[in-house]
Amino acid sequence: MTDQLIIFDTTLRDGEQSPGASMTRDEKVRIAKALERMRVDVIEAGFAIASPGDFASVKAVAEAVDDSTVCSLARANLKDIDAAAQALEPARRRRIHTFIATSPIHMAKKLNMHPDQVVEAAVAAVKHARQYTDDVEFSPEDAGRSEPDFLCRILEAVIDAGAGTINIPDTVGYTMPHMFGQLIADLRNRVPNADKAVFSVHCHNDLGMAVANSLAAVLAGARQVECTINGLGERAGNAALEEVAMAVRTRRDVFACDHRLDTKHIMQASRLVSAVTGFPVQPNKAIVGANAFAHESGIHQDGVIKHRETYEIMHAADVGWSEQHIVLGKHSGRNAFRTRCEELGISFESPELLNDAFARFKVLADQKHEIFDEDLHALVSDVAQAHERINLHQLEVTAATGTRPVAHLSLQIDKELVSASAEGDGSVDACFKAIEQIIDSGAQLLLFSVNAITQGTDAQGETTVRLARDGKVANGQGADTDVVVAAAKAYVNALNRLDQMGVRLHPQVGETV
């Protein structure tokens, strides 16, 4: 057994399956670049057949990434695999990940297939995928609730057909760590050709066990863990990459393996994913939460001052907590700006877009002097938003204690300016009401949140607005040194995203979302 633990990140695929977390192609490329910088081994870039937009995103990631293997998900059918292979064509290293459900309930109720047909489809899919690449992964979906004898049978068959990675998903987050570890050990012992494949795990967090189950599997010999930044993912999410990575690195005495991640990039990736998806990180979240390294209680502070290791088991710097470098300032020129953007995976499709972004950068640098990478990501999202169908043109809010605030705003819709004014219970409420007076979207507001992007009172406020309409959910983001302006931008962004949401296949339920 090797001592290398392969880190497979599925933020761009399973992470994106969280309601409202959908990402644009450019956002996916930026996240993929952050993952590559962190030295993630495999990046699952999406489900290529889901829609033309998903196909384009997988392709764009395949073009942008050199150091990590790029992977696309495909159901066990030839059309999905062909789409995955075409989208992955530009990749330096490509993997096709094909799957089919194997639990009695999924085979009978979802697939309506006999177990023999499931084995046949899985073998055919793996053989077909092998015509495109030597790197093929197979997952028996809902393995956590599948019959072990049937799992052994299908796994032996797909390994014979050429699958080099066998991924065991706990799709519904049902198993307990000791059981899941035992399942991995049993499969490795009982499948006759198990030594020809790397065993991988993919755990969901419905009972809060995703990381514990993944680590139990590593102890039982799994050598790939599938995970996401901040634990993003379907329902309660997937195993959090940062927790798995730091547990293995911190407790090398327990796990007889290590990964190749440069963990100093964890914080930056966490902030980027949270900013792009609008899913804030809870303060007490392990590793990346604001309190993860804050020793608040007096006793702890005293202990830490006397001797750091009394209460700290990891260095904050090792996961990038002190890495919030000032990267640019008001004297930085266009070249320095473009170079840093390129390093962050940000590219401008035309000289006009670069000019627009640089002009906004100068305005921001005048307002807040020190510009961090997080500010650049927010600024680029701002430029992209300015080219959407609806955008915020002007906003004025009058608010005083004891009076109801009033917002006067104008939106640019298809290049035409439309204005409205509205009163509200607060400044943000007044803005949202004024926007709705113009748009009358019929959408329901599910969430509004504000975070500071960087430190200091001149930090930009980053707001998220989640809207729902006709079963679709979209998150919008806005950033500005004025949080009310940021809120209005986020509302408009969520409206644009709702309008753009087209028909898209969901890999596991086979429905459009």
* Contacts with Zn ion, residue ranges (CB under 5 A): 14
Give Rg (Cα) of the chain: 24
Nearer to ligand KIV, 94 or 202 (CB): 202
Query: C-alpha 373: how far from its chain's center?
Result: 18
Nearer to ligand KIV, 54 or 141 (CB): 141
- Using CB under 6 A as the binding rule, whether residue 427 contacts ligand KIV is answered as no
Site string for ligand KIV, 282-321 (x = CB under 6 A): ----------------------------------------
Site string for ligand KIV, 14-53 (x = CB under 6 A): x---------------------------------------
Question: In 3D, which of 341, 295, 335, 336 has the Cα closest to residue 314?
Answer: 295
- Using CB under 6 A as the binding rule, whether residue 141 contacts ligand KIV is answered as yes
Q: Which residue, chain included where needed, has tokens 């930090």?
A: 459
Q: Residue 177 in contact with residue 151, Cβ under 8 Å?
A: no
The Cα–Cα gap between 131 and 510 comes to 25
The Cα–Cα gap between 121 and 114 comes to 11
Query: What number of other Cβ atoms are within 10 A of residue 66's Cβ?
Result: 10
Site string for ligand KIV, 246-285 (x = CB under 6 A): ----------------------------------------
Q: Provide φ and ψ at 496, rounded to 5°.
A: -60, -40
The Cα–Cα gap between 340 and 327 comes to 8
Q: Residue 90 in contact with residue 63, Cβ under 8 Å?
A: yes
- Using CB under 6 A as the binding rule, whether residue 9 contacts ligand KIV is answered as no
Nearer to ligand KIV, 158 or 341 (CB): 158
Largest CA distance in the chain: 76
The residue within the footprint of ligand KIV, chosen from 202, 285, 368, 377 (CB under 6 A), is 202
Residue nearest to Zn ion (CB): 14
- Containing 237, the helix (H) or strand (E) segment is none
Question: In 3D, which of 382, 31, 480 has the Cα closest to residue 230?
Answer: 31
Q: How far is the CB of 103 from ligand KIV (least distance, A)?
A: 10
Site string for ligand KIV, 382-421 (x = CB under 6 A): ----------------------------------------
Residue 44 contact, options Zn ion, ligand KIV, none, Cβ 5-8 Å cut-off depending on partner type: none
Site string for ligand KIV, 93-132 (x = CB under 6 A): ------x---------------------------------
Count the alpha carbons within 13 Å of 18 in the hemisphere toward its beta carbon: 26
State in Å, rounded, how far the first CA of the chain is from the last one: 41
- Using CB under 6 A as the binding rule, whether residue 174 contacts ligand KIV is answered as no
**Site residues for ligand KIV per CB under 6 A:** 14, 99, 139, 141, 169, 171, 202, 204, 507-508
